[in-house]
Structure 1
């Protein structure tokens, strides 16, 4: 957990760790790989296969269903439709959202959208999940449920 006052650089640090931004100096090694030495394409592939991101605002694509939003990173990683769909359905079931699989983001509650975003972050079995204030836009009940979900995910998926 990274905590601190607003403006302290928490988001910047997460963006650097997540290879979305470059540091002014130093090195970054994730899962034994020096990420600063990777080409743009290799860095993109690395990010897709080793890192999962959950943002404060879910960043779901509105024209796709919950199931499709979760499958997108798997497709980018080169996985076939059957494999991507099975994994996405497994995650939706774990999230308690199987009955919402074919709903678009506009048809989901805030808590449901954020659980879909968490499932999307997990679809490629990343080594690290980076969550930048993932409960910041949720009400107290959904906030508590999301925090518990992260502990449950750790216990089930490592």
Structure 2
């Protein structure tokens, strides 16, 4: 019986730790020359999704859901990504805040925030549309955060950071 309990706990621990995706972009493959002189600003569209939708085997075992502030979480994800990639990324409330005439500004619309709970893995997916205010070109990306659970704000931050990193990869092409 002790062996069975040990195996069950060991399997659960491995499953929970092995299912998380890493979101540290310190060693990234972004084109450093492309971003060297650029300042990129992101303005969150007021029509953006502002709540996480839950699907799958979702339950409230330890209490209710703490819906994070999406705007604040997006700003945190940008700050973290800027720090890890050494690219000048900034969150702005409105375009009048910008004094740099060479700045690139993107209207950012988060169209989807879904957290699906499977048997052992929870996947938080964000779909984000980045529209260049200067030329109206649009790039849509998806951010994924797989985990064994965790708190809503941290998983959302990592998913949004992944979406923005994927955007940067597309933008440099």
Q: How does the TM-score come out when normalised to structure 2?
A: 0.24
Which of the pair is proportionally richer in helix? 1
Which of the pair is proportionally richer in strand? 2
| Largest Rg, 1 or 2 | 2
